[in-house]
Chains A and B, each alone.
Chain A
């Protein structure tokens, strides 16, 4: 397969959030601002990239029957690495994302890519697939976080446009559901044309 196509499919055509609707929990929970969303996205990208590469390299040795538990352990290892790294270097963001960092283990996208792509493709292709999917995920999280921050606080990346309180609803839980709903509807509309 063309490597560029392999990389870029994660952004629009097979975007994990906006088209496949996988991994909705961290998407909704961590996008109260653009920075949080992007931070979460990058952490997930690292896990996706490394676990895809690792799984592709050992997929042939793992017996078929125990492959899912084996994949989960590989993924959990990388999640622990991210968890410890973020705890050491990004204290503030780490506190905000809270339990959603260890919860990357159960993000359907990571296991989904392992099962759908990494176990039957080469190490290089799987790494590119992981990177593309991860960045597509990050992009969607950034857009959603940006929109919510814009509507909820009238600011973007902590830069305040209007010196007024925003529509608080969009920062709170209901805003997450509603904004993502309309965003997916928009993508549906564009993809159908």
Chain B
């Protein structure tokens, strides 16, 4: 039951993009086409889950016993940067077209606040290891859900007539606002 609550809260109620405001850059940046969005979701999910596992270990076995928790930000960001580098190398070998399509957004996963955000939030929420992993996985799924819905809407939007000043970022933000409003409907679930 406890896990179901975490899952529903992570995917719908406290959606990482639409209600916690984490990972907005890739949300606005790679959501022009569904295929690029899917690649981004895969890479982000992988990094978030792995980063949460590694940082959880570091927090429990290194920072807490040694009482140097103020080093958290620095160590976490280093772990994430190393993981992103690894994903980049793997992707370059396994799927060059996807690597080319993701372009600049791949190294930018390091500065995707959703990754650092989730690793910090599991510390704030005081989750144990399994809870942290479930939370990390389903937060990524929530990220993917929001990104996919948004990419679908934006593909449709390309054909519509938008006032000049509203084109690009402004209309994307207003659309995201309306989407966030829709997600508020889930608020009563948990």
Residues of A at the B interface (CB closer than 8 Å) are 21-22, 24-26, 28-29, 68-69, 72-73, 76-77, 79-80, 83-84, 98-99, 102-103, 105-108, 111, 169, 172-178, 180-182, 184-186, 188-189, 192
Contact = CB atoms under 8 A, between A and B. Distances in A.
Nearest to B163: A185
Interface of B: 18-25, 28, 70-74, 77-78, 81, 107-108, 110-113, 115-117, 120-121, 124, 163-166, 169-174, 176-178, 180-181, 184
19 contacts: A22-B25, A25-B24, A29-B22, A73-B78, A79-B73, A80-B73, A80-B74, A83-B70, A102-B120, A105-B116, A111-B111, A173-B18, A173-B19, A173-B184, A174-B184, A176-B177, A177-B177, A177-B180, A184-B170
Report which residue of B164, B166, B169, B171 has the largest number of chain A beta carbons within 10 angstroms of its beta carbon.
B169
A174 B21 contact: no
Contacts of B178: 174, 178
Contacts of B81: 68-69, 72
Contacts of A108: 25, 108, 111
Contacts of A111: 111
Given A80-B74, A184-B170, A192-B165, A25 B19 contact: no
